[in-house]
Chain A
């Protein structure tokens, strides 16, 4: 586990600060970015409308001008007055001139053609007027009343109505005149020019029609472009908004995920670890290393605490053991013996079974001590203690040092013959055990023990003291009977 520790262990406080700062900066940047984009789009939209709308208005104005030119052409065609015709022609000319400045080659060239047509119409009309005047002058030479009538008719006729085949019948009388050919030629010329004018009028109007269609479709196209452009911009605004919102949402989700994994879960695991200390048993709690320094410090503290608790439990155990055990022999001491005897008596009382208590005393131990010294004495005590301990197999059986060279064995739930057998077996084993001195193997010491025991079904009137006393009395009898024997009390 420690090998998996990440090398970097940032501080939570610093990280929170940095993340907040990064988040704020990112937010500001994205807000700035989106705002910039939105502003750009808005500006572009404004630009398109500011550019295209005036163009639309301009196109509309041009259409108006075309209508005006059309009426000028009609006026020039229909008006019979040379001065008015000239005025209209001049005005239309200035109006058409304004088209020449348009940044549109088609419009400029069409305007130039229309201007040419208007001039042509005006000059044809002028030519017709001259011809008409000359024809009238030619008729002036005659005094014939019919001719005078015809002359009057001719001067009253507008030029546009002088057409071959449509002249009043009185014109037929002129064939007799000497200068008829000359007059007829002029009238026919006027008539021809009228036909030419009619064609020109049709042509020019068709041209105007073309220009106005062109302007109309141009205006429609521009309006459509405007609508499309603005539509595209709005779509882009929508896209950017969605993008921006997604970024914010994703960022929040990411932060939540990171928060959950680096803060929430670790804290939960720390709490769980802390709780686990109570039931940690005989091993310390180990927790996963954590990303943030503060949390990891807490983790370390919990592990340390767990270790401390573990060590304290161990020390307690040792202390407890120390208070129960006889330092020299490793058997239970007198205090623990009392405790267990009490418990076993209670147990025997509850279950109504028999309990045996053996008192074992080393014979002539004082002399042994005097002869070989305390160290040998102590050694002998240890050997005998080991032998007695060997007879504690079942639960509840306990070997204890009663004091001095006296030992006690508690054997619960046991039959009477078995107690005899065990007591005899202990006495036998002790008497057959040779104890060698540590520094001199040639000398071996033979020891014997005297054993007194009680075996009885315990009842409420009995107490441990009485039981011990009874066993002690049996031991005394054994001593009195010459030692190295077993007596029952």
Chain B
């Protein structure tokens, strides 16, 4: 009964969303500095898991989407300001962020892990890592964790995942803490061949990384449509296709 009601409601909402949004395309913010979820390829195109998901989701929701590339550190401000209605950029849900935006059901899961030079740091325990310089992206779950648990002077907060990786390659930092999938992507790239996972993955509630789609507050119909759209692409196999394209195992 509730399901039917939900479906009817969803269809009505879809109609509403279609009417109100098809006319003006749905504006979606993407980030572009978070391989393999979102990155600029050799031809200068922004590609990645998040981008493909955005395409599939928009098709499932039957809306036209316009993607806008936004810096990570400004991405929530733009949503609040109304520059776009959605953020599809591997965003984790935190109480602070929930004050600024609504969040969809999660669309992938990952965890955080350190990457560094295995020759120097391979067998080290967490406590030994505290003396090392650690980089991560600014305003990320990992940055919150590091600031809470590691000496502040050793924590380097950089503008993006790519910047953090560059710092590691140059030797400006000893370790980078980031999402395991992005780290894997880095390690499998030519730049990453001398690096490896360091220590065990961090088992911490803050770092069990569920990625959600952020939705502008006050649009429950859009939230519902996004969740239904996610279900649709998961059930019709599109999600798995996109998953396999970037990661060799399921990350849902």
Residues of A within 8 A of B (CB): 61, 64-65, 68, 83, 86-87, 90-91, 93-95, 97-98, 100-101, 112
Q: Is A94 touching B184 in the complex (CB atoms < 8 A)? A: yes
- Select B201's contact among A64, A86, A91, A97, beta carbons within 8 Å: A97
B248–chain A nearest beta-carbon distance, Å: 5
Given A64-B250, A100-B200, 10 more A-B residue pairs with CB atoms under 8 Å apart are: A61-B252, A83-B193, A91-B184, A93-B197, A94-B113, A94-B181, A94-B184, A97-B180, A101-B111, A101-B208
Within 8 A of A (CB), among B177-205: 180-181, 183-184, 187-188, 193, 196-197, 200-201, 203
Residue of A nearest to B252 (CB): A61
Q: Is A90 touching B197 in the complex (CB atoms < 8 A)? A: yes
Residues in chain A near residue B249, CB distance under 8 A = 65, 68, 91, 94-95
Chain B, 215-252, contact with A by CB distance < 8 Å: what is the 0/1 string?
Answer: 00000000000000000000000000000000011101
Tier of interface size on chain B = 20 to 34
Tell me the bound Cα distance from A83 to B187 in angstroms: 11
26 residue pairs from A and B, CB less than 8 Å apart: A61-B250, A61-B252, A64-B250, A65-B250, A68-B249, A83-B193, A87-B188, A90-B184, A90-B196, A90-B197, A91-B188, A91-B248, A91-B249, A93-B197, A94-B113, A94-B181, A97-B111, A97-B180, A97-B201, A98-B109, A98-B111, A100-B200, A100-B201, A100-B203, A101-B111, A101-B203
Residues in chain B near residue A64, CB distance under 8 A = 250
Tell me the bound Cα distance from A347 to B203 in angstroms: 132
Residue of B nearest to A97 (CB): B201
A64–chain B nearest beta-carbon distance, Å: 7
Residues in chain B near residue A87, CB distance under 8 A = 188
Residues in chain B near residue A90, CB distance under 8 A = 184, 187-188, 196-197
Residues in chain B near residue A61, CB distance under 8 A = 250, 252
A367–chain B nearest beta-carbon distance, Å: 122
The 4 closest A-B pairs by CB, nearest first: A97-B201, A94-B180, A95-B249, A94-B184
Residues in chain B near residue A100, CB distance under 8 A = 111, 200-201, 203
A56–chain B nearest beta-carbon distance, Å: 15
Residues in chain B near residue A94, CB distance under 8 A = 113, 180-181, 183-184, 249
Tell me the bound Cα distance from A149 to B252 in angstroms: 53
Residues in chain A near residue B248, CB distance under 8 A = 91
Residues in chain A near residue B203, CB distance under 8 A = 100-101
Residue of A nearest to B196 (CB): A90
Residue of B nearest to A96 (CB): B201
Tell me the bound Cα distance from A234 to B183 in angstroms: 50
Tell me the bound Cα distance from A112 to B203 in angstroms: 13
Residue of B nearest to A95 (CB): B249
Residues in chain A near residue B196, CB distance under 8 A = 90
Residues in chain A near residue B201, CB distance under 8 A = 97, 100
Tell me the bound Cα distance from A379 to B202 in angstroms: 142
Residue of A nearest to B207 (CB): A101
Tell me the bound Cα distance from A94 to B180 in angstroms: 6
Tell me the bound Cα distance from A27 to B208 in angstroms: 52
A186–chain B nearest beta-carbon distance, Å: 23
B227–chain A nearest beta-carbon distance, Å: 16
Tell me the bound Cα distance from A481 to B252 in angstroms: 155
Residues in chain B near residue A93, CB distance under 8 A = 197
Residues in chain A near residue B208, CB distance under 8 A = 101
Tell me the bound Cα distance from A90 to B183 in angstroms: 10
Q: Is B200 touching A112 in the complex (CB atoms < 8 A)? A: yes
B182–chain A nearest beta-carbon distance, Å: 10
Residues in chain A near residue B181, CB distance under 8 A = 94
Tell me the bound Cα distance from A94 to B111 in angstroms: 9
Residue of A nearest to B179 (CB): A94
Residues in chain B near residue A68, CB distance under 8 A = 249
Residues in chain A near residue B184, CB distance under 8 A = 90-91, 94
B2–chain A nearest beta-carbon distance, Å: 9
Residues in chain B near residue A65, CB distance under 8 A = 249-250
A194–chain B nearest beta-carbon distance, Å: 24
Residues in chain A near residue B188, CB distance under 8 A = 87, 90-91
Within 8 A of A (CB), among B157-180: 180
Residue of A nearest to B208 (CB): A101
Tell me the bound Cα distance from A87 to B188 in angstroms: 6
B108–chain A nearest beta-carbon distance, Å: 11
User: Considering residues B183, B188, B249, B252, which has the most beta carbons from chain A within 10 angstroms of its beta carbon?
Assistant: B249
Residue of A nearest to B109 (CB): A98
Tell me the bound Cα distance from A91 to B247 in angstroms: 9
Within 8 A of A (CB), among B106-130: 109, 111, 113
Tell me the bound Cα distance from A83 to B190 in angstroms: 10
Tell me the bound Cα distance from A65 to B183 in angstroms: 20
Tell me the bound Cα distance from A98 to B109 in angstroms: 9
B61–chain A nearest beta-carbon distance, Å: 24
Tell me the bound Cα distance from A64 to B249 in angstroms: 10
Tell me the bound Cα distance from A65 to B251 in angstroms: 10
Residue of B nearest to A61 (CB): B250
Residue of B nearest to A108 (CB): B203
Tell me the bound Cα distance from A83 to B200 in angstroms: 22
User: Considering residues A68, A91, A97, which has the most beta carbons from chain B within 10 angstroms of its beta carbon?
Assistant: A97
B184–chain A nearest beta-carbon distance, Å: 5
Residues in chain B near residue A98, CB distance under 8 A = 109, 111
- Select A97's contact among B113, B193, B250, beta carbons within 8 Å: B113
Tell me the bound Cα distance from A97 to B199 in angstroms: 11
User: Considering residues A68, A94, A95, A97, which has the most beta carbons from chain B within 10 angstroms of its beta carbon?
Assistant: A94
Tell me the bound Cα distance from A324 to B248 in angstroms: 133
